[in-house]
Structure 1
């Protein structure tokens, strides 16, 4: 299980363009996701979360790790002309409440909130377009030096 979580966390950090300092958040999010997926270890075609709580997990609340989100600033913490939201980075799910964990991009402060608008295609280095042809890398099937050596 350790290898599974580490590989999942590594992929999530790579996809989001985040450094190794986010490994803890990535592993916790990987564990959260893994516990909501069916597993062969439980022979009832259920997830560990479902066996533990006797409820089906709500998958509609899942978001892309590391994506940007605008988190609402509570009314009592802002002045009349202050911004109503702040740009944050999604880091995972809160442990003991139905909320998300965010890191504010400008200050690095950790926030826990349910009130957010997610931009699941935007990350620190810009939006991701997986249908863009410029992201396709083609490799040669053979090496020219190797061909010369064979002759």
Structure 2
């Protein structure tokens, strides 16, 4: 219109005109910029998200998992779930473990508005321990991007482990736990190519970390049988498949 009838727009700028109809008809979301806010102290801010249900139920009955990611170190803790209503008890266990093992107090938990996080049990626990629960705005999963991207990273890694090793898909829970173990010990660009475990060690005295030589997921493993487990003519070992690392033992899972 300005080009067609310039006299009508003399002395006026485009910013002088507003059109509510155009806003309603052409509204688009502004792209999210990368957040530059990052905690400098471990366990000040914990990101969390729940994934599931899996279309394939694991032999243990697991269909879900919840992750807790420390904003400072990017260390990830994962809990396997049979039901979503176990999230509250898992966080309480995680909270107590961090307090005991690292002498740390969680200050903020950030999650979405899912019912597994926004409920009476969770809110009561937060009030009792002085924890702030930050939730995302409705329809804005980008505000919980750290947890969302971590879940995607874990699933991509677990999928690659299962495909490459030709392991049956019902062992997805073993693959996802192995993925967490490996990612916590791999360099990350967010941490200037340090490992999350190394960054955590710079801030906190670590409990006795069980260091095991990495093995290839799904590889053949010969498990030795002790004499009290076999007769004189029985095989001295059994043929197994390597499926991960023990959580509280210095050993492998086959």
TM-score, length basis structure 1:
0.59
Backbone CA RMSD of aligned residues: 2.3
Q: Distance in 2 between matches of 1:87 and 1:62?
A: 19
Residue 58 of structure 1 deviates from its aligned partner by: 5.1
Q: Distance in 2 between matches of 1:54 and 1:86?
A: 33
Match of 1:95 in 2: 247
Residue 33 of structure 1 deviates from its aligned partner by: 0.4
Q: 2:194 aligns with which of 36, 46, 49?
A: 46
The residue correspondences of 1:2-151 to structure 2 (distance < 5 A) are 2-42=151-191, 45-50=193-198, 51-52=200-201, 53=206, 61-102=213-254
Aligned partner of residue 71 in structure 1, secondary structure:
strand
Which protein has the larger Cα radius of gyration, Structure 1 or Structure 2?
2
Distance of aligned partners of 1:79 and 1:56 in 2 relative to their CA distance in 1, 3 Å threshold: closer
CA contact (8 A) 1:49 1:56 kept: no
CA contact (8 A) 2:210 2:249 kept: no
Q: Whose relative contact order is higher, 1 or 2, with alpha carbons under 8 Å and at least 6 apart?
A: 1
Aligned partner of residue 253 in structure 2, secondary structure:
strand
Q: Distance in 2 between matches of 1:54 and 1:101?
A: 22
Unaligned runs of 5+ in 2: 1-149
Distance of aligned partners of 1:24 and 1:33 in 2 relative to their CA distance in 1, 3 Å threshold: same
Residue 55 of structure 1 deviates from its aligned partner by: 8.8
Say how many residue pairs are matched: 100
> Deviations 1:21-50 (Å, cap 9, x if unpaired)?
01000000011000001223435x431222
TM-score, length basis structure 2:
0.36
> Deviations 1:75-110 (Å, cap 9, x if unpaired)?
2111122111000000000111111000xxxxxxxx
CA contact (8 A) 2:243 2:253 kept: yes
Structure 1 runs (4+) greater than 6 angstroms displaced: 54-57
Match of 1:117 in 2: none
Q: Distance in 1 between matches of 2:247 and 2:176?
A: 13
Q: Distance in 2 between matches of 1:49 and 1:96?
A: 17
Aligned partner of residue 243 in structure 2, secondary structure:
strand
